[in-house]
Structure 1
């Protein structure tokens, strides 16, 4: 055991770990700053309510990180583990379908009440799809069947679409896009030929086209007034700035007020009841207002470092499963960041996706911590692999 710990410490990815840690701590400070007024004046809680809850979330996240970092990633390739992961994923998604609820004004029935806490199962889907796809395609790669569409492609694609459908009907469109992007990214990193990959994209596009026909018949339940309002606000938020464009307009005001230097930590005006639930997916607007361009650069720089380092890990390893896990985690964090920042800045419509490691949220930070632990485990394997050469 002592020898194992020495080898573990020697190959540990300290830059990746400290970047993850600093982002979490920075997010904790900003959650307190962003939520104190909303918590006290709007909800009637103590000013540090969300801050204390996020500390608990981070403690649970640290446990998930340790589990992910110390358990060898190759265990996820075992058949029993694959069955277990898929069983958990679909059990949670079906539970949401029958017993889920929509907190606040989110509009998506994507949460489960556990009594002591709320759980968002769609967050589990992201990491499970990464591990499941990586395991299945790694096995096919090792057997030389990676380009056999019937044997290697169809089963995981069916799993992906089944999970995506259950997330779609919640409906959680932002998470749906992330899940589909993760699936495509892992397949791209699997080692399949470009010709086969193009066929897969054709199948995915075809299935989405068929699904869009089905959506037409249930469009009233999917494209609610609120969602259509978000789309209209995307094109011109100032046209209806008191209703559907309200959040975007106040986000713009926060960013504009911050400028380069910011107003100072704790000095945000928009968090004084103007910007709804500022500790969640609009927390970057508060960061921009209080800490200016410098604060935003810290967040995006840290997230960018994690994504780039994960991609470098994927490029350096010879193990197909390690490559796919690293690429999958990079795509998850990178694309989720793009959706959050894109919605905040008006590049894309708002979808309510949290900013990784920064926004308030229990399930999100716990699953992201698990993903970071697994990524560090993969990084240690890659480093040890290179040292042997």
Structure 2
């Protein structure tokens, strides 16, 4: 079966993922070689080496995602969700705090692991499984919708508690996308959207810390808060302006020299814009768009509801996370600390993104194999 899957690989996704992740590793080096010494007091290649190791592990995760039959996730979804909830709980006991968020579990001899990144993928598998099982009575709100929504909100609440607003927003959005795609009644869908809007208003007025609220000022009034909340965004604008069409050249950017905080993580696209210009940004957006569009096409090609919902969830995850990251560095959205898929520094994020891309490739391969079998049977 593995050989048949490998013969039916979606090379568009495979090429885009390998190109983005390899390019991202190079850009992490360019973006962090100065700040590594000046800010973090490590060697210039410290973050590059760690990202290169993560990339190597990501290749294995990609391969594993490709060869592991996606239908098996339906049998394992309870175990996957249980492990995720346990890891999220352990964060509050043993978690490492960075940038005012307790989001990482230390792993002796290896580094740190971010369970919230795993939670996004676990929720996709859970929601796709549950709404496949409930497809026969999807119109019944109490039986079909209420239980998975409650469990989803529990996981999202655990992520919010860290606090990690960006990841929680992504998990909530992707789960909502799967619910929308499951065939729920419009009245139920609009009711949930209304509740979500009210919840967002309440959260904004009563649930956000002063630091989180300041990010709205930084996004929409950056020049009035140039010394604090708007500092990152203003320097992001300067990086984009400096780059122009062709950029200043790889490694020749100025804003990463202590002016642009988190240049190798949240704001790596600003470094790309400065050093490789609009053309470099365009190539990255093209590759990300290819993955998302192919994911949506794969969902339409899938012969079963679970594969369709799983593909929609993965494509939605990559697309939504990309939009939130890019929205932050352009001022369209408040900063949330969300990494750019496949490109930003971050081992857990890279591993989970490459694994999820492998899942898409597996869904495509299995669909092609099944279609070929049906054509042979019909002949």
TM-score normalised by length of structure 1: 0.91
Instruction: Select the residue among 103, 108, 113 that pairs with 1:110.
Output: 103
2:205 is the counterpart of 1:223:
no
Compute the displacement of 1:202 (Å).
4.6
Instruction: Select the residue among 289, 292, 299 that pairs with 2:274.
Output: 289
Change (3 A) 1:89 1:234: same
Cα distance in 2, alignment partners of residues 165 and 301 from structure 1:
34
Cα distance in 2, alignment partners of residues 382 and 93 from structure 1:
34
Cα distance in 1, alignment partners of residues 203 and 222 from structure 2:
27
Compute the displacement of 1:6 (Å).
3.8
Q: 1:191·1:320 contact (CA, 8 Å) conserved in 2? A: no
Q: What does residue range 57-76 of structure 1 map to in structure 2 within 5 Å?
A: 57-76=54-73
Compute the displacement of 1:189 (Å).
1.8
Q: What does residue range 39-58 of structure 1 map to in structure 2 within 5 Å?
A: 39-58=36-55
Q: 2:5·2:366 contact (CA, 8 Å) conserved in 1? A: no
Aligned length: 373
Change (3 A) 1:6 1:234: closer
Residue range with higher mean Cα deviation, 314-323 or 144-153: 144-153
- SS of the residue 1:111 aligns to: strand
Q: 1:336·1:353 contact (CA, 8 Å) conserved in 2? A: yes
Measured against aligned partners, the alpha-carbon deviations of 1:17-58 in whole angstroms (never above 9, x if no partner) come to 111000001101111111111112222211111111001111
The equivalent residue for 1:101 is 96
Instruction: Select the residue among 101, 122, 130 that pairs with 1:136.
Output: 130
The equivalent residue for 2:339 is 354
Cα distance in 2, alignment partners of residues 164 and 42 from structure 1:
32
Cα distance in 2, alignment partners of residues 375 and 157 from structure 1:
25
Change (3 A) 1:200 1:239: closer
2:167 is the counterpart of 1:175:
yes
Instruction: Select the residue among 18, 22, 26 that pairs with 1:25.
Output: 22
TM-score normalised by length of structure 2: 0.94
Cα distance in 1, alignment partners of residues 151 and 229 from structure 2:
35
Give unmatched runs, 5+ long, in structure 2. Answer: none
Measured against aligned partners, the alpha-carbon deviations of 1:90-138 in whole angstroms (never above 9, x if no partner) come to 10111122332322xx222212222331111110111001001111111
Cα distance in 2, alignment partners of residues 231 and 330 from structure 1:
28
Instruction: Select the residue among 90, 114, 121 that pairs with 2:115.
Output: 121
The equivalent residue for 1:371 is 356
Measured against aligned partners, the alpha-carbon deviations of 1:343-364 in whole angstroms (never above 9, x if no partner) come to 1000011111000000000110
Residue range with higher mean Cα deviation, 93-102 or 129-138: 93-102
Cα distance in 2, alignment partners of residues 335 and 268 from structure 1:
28
Cα distance in 2, alignment partners of residues 304 and 91 from structure 1:
34
- SS of the residue 2:289 aligns to: helix
Q: 1:62·1:369 contact (CA, 8 Å) conserved in 2? A: yes
Cα distance in 1, alignment partners of residues 351 and 183 from structure 2:
30
The equivalent residue for 2:190 is 198
Compute the displacement of 1:240 (Å).
2.4
2:270 is the counterpart of 1:278:
no
Change (3 A) 1:196 1:318: farther
Change (3 A) 1:362 1:189: same
Measured against aligned partners, the alpha-carbon deviations of 1:190-228 in whole angstroms (never above 9, x if no partner) come to 23343443344355556x279649x73xx5xx413x323
Cα distance in 2, alignment partners of residues 209 and 52 from structure 1:
40
- SS of the residue 1:102 aligns to: strand
- SS of the residue 1:112 aligns to: strand
Cα distance in 1, alignment partners of residues 197 and 267 from structure 2:
31
Measured against aligned partners, the alpha-carbon deviations of 1:321-375 in whole angstroms (never above 9, x if no partner) come to 0110110011111111111000100001111100000000011001111111111
Residue range with higher mean Cα deviation, 316-325 or 227-236: 227-236
Cα distance in 1, alignment partners of residues 105 and 320 from structure 2:
25
